[in-house]
Amino acid sequence: MKFLQKSALAGWLVCLLLIMNIPIAWGQQGDCGMIAKPDLKMEARSAILLEPFTKEVLFEKNADQVMPPASVTKLMVMLLALESLEKQQIKLTDVITASPEACKMGGSQIWLEPGEQMTVAELLKAVCIVSANDASYALAEHLAGSEENFINLMNKRARELGLKNTKYVNTTGLDPASGGPGNLTTARDMALLASEVIKYPLVFKWTGVWIDSLRGGKSFLRNTNNMVRFYQGCDGLKTGYTTQAGYCLVATAKRNGVRLVAVVMNAPTIKDRAKDIGKMFNYGFSQYKAIKIYNGGEVLGRVKVFKGVEDTAEVMVSKELNVILKYNQKGEITKTVEIDQMITAPVAAGQKVGRVLIKIDGKEYRSINLITKKAIPGSSYFELFVRFLAGLVKRAVN
């Protein structure tokens, strides 16, 4: 009887601690129905598994331990380049001339020669696939005028994203030649950064490729991320290695509509790095399901167009929209379509004209932009006058 009383008391105490938001390490399913955190044996010193839309952490090990990221640094270079492309500050076809400084970078590289020219697209390919330090430096110079200016942009963007334990001193992740402190970050910060990078589908054009080339096929490229070839659904994202940083990998994979981000830092070997990432992915995909709401490009309505050659424009979903839920979750999903009442010509294809808002059990989950399906030119004054007269005649007849 005393044992039963003690067990009941322990159960109530556990529930009280949960209500007070005091963390508890479970060895098995607890008295209040809480499921144990996974017991994943990691060889890496630090690791984290994240669902990137909700930012829910499924697993972590020393995720806030500050350590060098090696070439995982280039995730920020990739993000700033992708953001600049979206803002049309640069174009993929822009030609960049390699400076002598860019060509002096050691480690992984594509052996740029001083004065050699490559496009932004080619340099991004080199950064994403083979982690080329010279390509990263050349991109930084093109985007900001100098590596020093670009480093300031990197640190500024890190602060904006809430990467509290991240500091950059160079664009490559190499140990500084001066022997001073190099780049520093955490697994958690890199998971959050990766969640931003994957918002740009263009990146998968390079990070998801196993074999490619440059210089008209003369320069062979093989992805440094073996998971792209050997793990189903993996299509990125960035590897890193130095003696001090160990083997690092920020990876992302998508299966059945569910995308996950996993990070390992300071793994002993390449095999350990891949094994740890695979363990986390396998666990994560066993926990989540995707419910499709809309296909990318699906038309949801029309918007009125003022002064256009057409009176209305078709409005479509900008990209695929899924709701990611735990397998045992049964929340009520509601969707609200919001379309602008009227827009003025000329209308660009892909112009934002509204959004879809998704709620689960009345709580906002996420939203996605609605865009115009095609461009609509503006009408001339003569065309507008003719259409005005036609409208008057039509109303008179009716």
Catalytic site residues? 71, 74, 131
Structural contact between residues 50 and 262, judged by C-beta atoms closer than 8 angstroms: yes
Closest CA to 74 of 31, 21, 133, 19: 133
Handedness of CA 387, 390, 396, 397 (dihedral sign): negative
In contact, 346 and 376? CB cutoff 8 Å: yes
Ramachandran region of residue 207, left (φ > 0), alpha (ψ -120 to 50) or beta?
Answer: alpha
204 token code pair = 């998968």
Helices (H) and strands (E) in the chain, counts: 11, 17
CB atoms within 10 A of CB 15: 15
State the Cα–Cα distance between residues 278 and 397, nearest whole angstrom: 71
CB neighbours of 304 closer than 8 A, spacing ≥ 6? Answer: 311, 312, 341, 342, 343
Amino acid at 318: S
Angstrom CA distances, 368 to 6, 50, 193, 299, stand at 52, 21, 20, 14
Amino acid at site 278: G
Half-sphere CA count of 209, side-chain side, radius 13 A: 18
Residues 156-188 as b or e (16 or more Cβ within 10 Å = b): ebbeebebeebbbbbbbbbbeeeeeebbebbbb
Helical H segments across the chain, by residue range: 2-19, 74-86, 100-103, 120-130, 133-144, 147-160, 187-197, 204-207, 227-230, 270-285, 381-397
